[in-house]
Amino acid sequence: MRLLPAAVAIALLPLAACKPEPEVVTDTAPDPMATALKNAPAVELPPAIKATVSMRCQPGNALVFAEFFQGDKLVKLRTEKNGKPTDLKAPEAGQPFTAEGGYKLTGNEKSATVELPGKGSLSCKG
């Protein structure tokens, strides 16, 4: 039992020699990309989805599927539910959305006129 207090004292002796302040780590090296990041143009995020709709179109009782994006300059149009989307873009909000190949959409998520290659003009309601 006499060894126990001595063992505790020996175990605590190295801890008594420690400094109570934490070590301060600093990084004074200059950022190699600081100038490039400072002069970089502002990043424009892609627009968020405003509405995803399926629209019933006449004549022919056809279906089209559309995703309308905020800013009213982009619509993704599908002729099949899981089909490949076609990006239709408008130069300014309120103008018709168009894409190469004869795609055109005029309107909004509630009511639109859609022109598809090989199918002509369709009057659609969401």
Whether residue 6 lies inside any domain: the answer is: no
In percent, the amount of the chain with pLDDT more than 90 equals 60
Name which residue leads in pLDDT, 21 or 117.
117
Whether residue 22 lies inside any domain: the answer is: no
Whether residue 5 lies inside any domain: the answer is: no
Whether residue 59 lies inside any domain: the answer is: yes
Q: How far apart are CA 69 and CA 62, in angstroms?
A: 23
Whether residue 85 lies inside any domain: the answer is: yes
Structural domain for 85, as ranges: 49-125
Whether residue 76 lies inside any domain: the answer is: yes
Whether residue 7 has pLDDT greater than 90: no
Q: How confident is the model at residue 18 (pLDDT cuts 50, 70, 90)?
A: low
Whether residue 16 has pLDDT greater than 70: no
Name which residue leads in pLDDT, 17 or 67.
67
Q: How far apart are CA 55 and CA 125, in angstroms?
A: 5
Whether the CB-CB separation of 110 and 126 falls below 8 Å is answered with yes
Look at residue 45 and give its three-state secondary structure.
coil
Whether residue 70 lies inside any domain: the answer is: yes
Q: Provide the pairing of β-strand 62-69 with 86-89.
A: unpaired
Q: How far apart are CA 45 and CA 74, in angstroms?
A: 13
Q: Provide the pairing of β-strand 62-69 with 49-58.
A: antiparallel
Name which residue leads in pLDDT, 19 or 42.
42
pLDDT score for 43: 86
Whether residue 55 lies inside any domain: the answer is: yes
Name which residue leads in pLDDT, 59 or 44.
59
Residues whose CB is less than 8 angstroms from the CB of residue 20 and which lie 6 or more positions away in sequence, other chains included = none
The structural domain count of the chain equals: 1
Report the chain's terminal Cα–Cα distance, integer Å. 88
